[in-house]
């Protein structure tokens, strides 16, 4: 489970301090797929990086599986698998070699790492290309490899930042199927997206973030009931219009 309570974050910029997260609070439970939905620059990546302890909140509390971010960051990292769109795989290593490398980084003992790689390869259907050079893999195969790398340490919390942007349909399916399955296995899944239809299809709970504020948080039905609307798209545009983000 992941819980954020009144999280704030500012960045220093040339024009002074920029307040990019404003009192963000939400909870994502095991078995849930929580989607942070918002336009570019809204604060999605910053939020996810704070949960993964790559950034520190200025104020507020972040709890990851009962561990306090800022205090127990090392333990939190063992529990979190993070996948970001800008992690590009290339080069002459094979997926197996890549996975071994990341298993070592995570201090997984040799015997266990061997077993884990076999298990992952089976689970993500990678056997056929496990020993091929990554440079020669299709987009879908590379995506499976990236996913495998991000979960080599079998994390309870799975965080995917814009996992499907710049992927073709087949590679998108790899991600979607994986996230569904992970949530069914009781993992806590968090993802960010700026694609509304994706959030609608994939997520059991949605947080709409605009200019660093979480202005809506709940299941799709809860959101539609609150706004007396029949489509998430209408709600999203109404909220953006209210804030002068669209004319
Ligand atoms: N390291 C940083 N320094 C200064 N500003 C940053 C930094 N990281 C992000 N920002 C700013 O914070 C805002 C939110 O960014 P981000 O969390 O990446 O948004 P999103 O992922 O929703 O597109 C943006 O205005 C971005 O320019
Ligand atoms: Mg982002």
- pLDDT per residue as tens digits for the range 202-245: 999 999 999 999 999 999 999 999 989 998 889 988 888 888 88
Rounded CA-CA distance 23/6 in Å is: 4
Rounded CA-CA distance 169/137 in Å is: 16
What contacts 190, CB < 8 A, 6 or more positions away? Answer: 2, 28, 33, 34, 35, 36, 48, 51, 157, 158, 159, 160
E strands, 137-224, where?
A: 157-161, 188-193, 205-210, 213-218
Ligand nearest to the CA of 162: 2
Q: Is the CB of 103 under 6 A from ligand 1?
A: no
Ligand nearest to the CA of 36: 1
Residues surrounding ion ligand 2 at CB below 5 Å: 44-45
Q: Is the CB of 45 under 6 A from ligand 1?
A: yes
Q: β-strands 205-210, 213-218: how paired?
A: antiparallel
Q: Where are the alpha helices (DSSP H) in 185-231?
A: 196-202, 220-226
Kindly state the DSSP code that residue 229 receives in the 8-state scheme.
-
From the CA of 11, how far away is ligand 1's center (Å)? 8
Contact 24, 42 (CB under 8 A): no
Q: Is the CB of 230 under 6 A from ligand 1?
A: no
Residue 198 confidence (pLDDT): 87
Q: Is the CB of 46 under 6 A from ligand 1?
A: yes
Rounded CA-CA distance 53/70 in Å is: 7
Residue 172 confidence (pLDDT): 86
Contact 207, 32 (CB under 8 A): no
Q: Which atom of ligand 1 is nearest to the CA of 209?
A: 22
Residue 186 corresponds to which tokens in the numbers above?
């009781």
Kindly state the DSSP code that residue 135 receives in the 8-state scheme.
G
Q: β-strands 59-64, 67-68: how paired?
A: antiparallel
Q: Which atom of ligand 1 is nearest to the CA of 13?
A: 4
Question: What pLDDT tens digit does each residue of the chain (247 aa) get?
Answer: 999 999 999 999 999 999 999 999 999 999 999 999 999 999 999 999 999 999 999 999 999 999 999 999 999 999 999 998 766 777 889 999 999 999 999 999 999 999 999 999 999 999 999 999 999 999 889 989 999 999 999 999 999 999 887 778 888 888 899 999 999 999 999 999 998 888 988 999 999 999 999 999 999 999 999 989 998 889 988 888 888 887 7
Q: Which atom of ligand 1 is nearest to the CA of 12?
A: 4
Q: Whose CA is nearest to atom 13 of ligand 1?
A: 41
From the CA of 43, how far away is ligand 2's center (Å)? 7
Contact 184, 211 (CB under 8 A): no
Instruction: Give tens-digit pLDDT for 75-104.
Output: 999 999 999 876 677 788 999 999 999 999
Contact 14, 167 (CB under 8 A): no
Domains of the chain: 2-242 (3.40.50.300)
From the number of C-beta atoms within 10 Å of its C-beta (0-12, 13-18, 19+), residue 25 rates as middle
Q: Kindly state the helix (H) or strand (E) to which residue 118 belongs, with its residue range.
A: helix 110-123
């Amino acid at each position: 489970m992941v819980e954020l309570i009144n999280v704030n974050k500012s960045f220093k910029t040339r024009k002074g301090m920029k307040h990019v997260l404003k009192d963000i609070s939400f909870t994502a439970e095991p078995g849930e797929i929580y989607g942070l939905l918002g336009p570019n620059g809204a604060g999605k990546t910053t939020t996810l990086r704070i949960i993964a302890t790559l950034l520190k909140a200025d104020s507020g509390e972040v709890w990851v599986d009962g561990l306090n971010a800022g205090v127990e960051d090392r333990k939190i990292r063992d529990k979190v698998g993070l996948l970001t769109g800008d992690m590009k795989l290339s080069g002459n290593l094979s997926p197996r070699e890549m996975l071994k490398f990341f298993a070592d980084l995570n201090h997984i003992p040799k015997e266990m790492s061997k077993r884990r790689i076999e298990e992952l390869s089976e689970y993500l259907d990678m056997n056929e290309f496990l020993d091929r050079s990554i440079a020669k893999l299709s987009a879908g195969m590379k995506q499976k490899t990236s996913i495998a790398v991000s979960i080599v340490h079998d994390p309870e919390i799975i965080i995917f930042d814009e996992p499907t942007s710049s992927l073709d349909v087949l590679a998108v399916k790899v991600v979607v199927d994986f996230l569904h399955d992970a949530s069914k296995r009781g993992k806590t899944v968090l993802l960010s997206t700026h694609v509304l239809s994706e959030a609608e299809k994939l997520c059991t709970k949605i947080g709409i973030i605009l200019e660093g504020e979480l202005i809506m948080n709940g299941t799709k039905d809860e959101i539609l009931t609150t706004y007396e609307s029949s489509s998430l798209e209408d709600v999203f545009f109404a909220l953006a219009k209210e804030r002068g983000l669209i004319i």
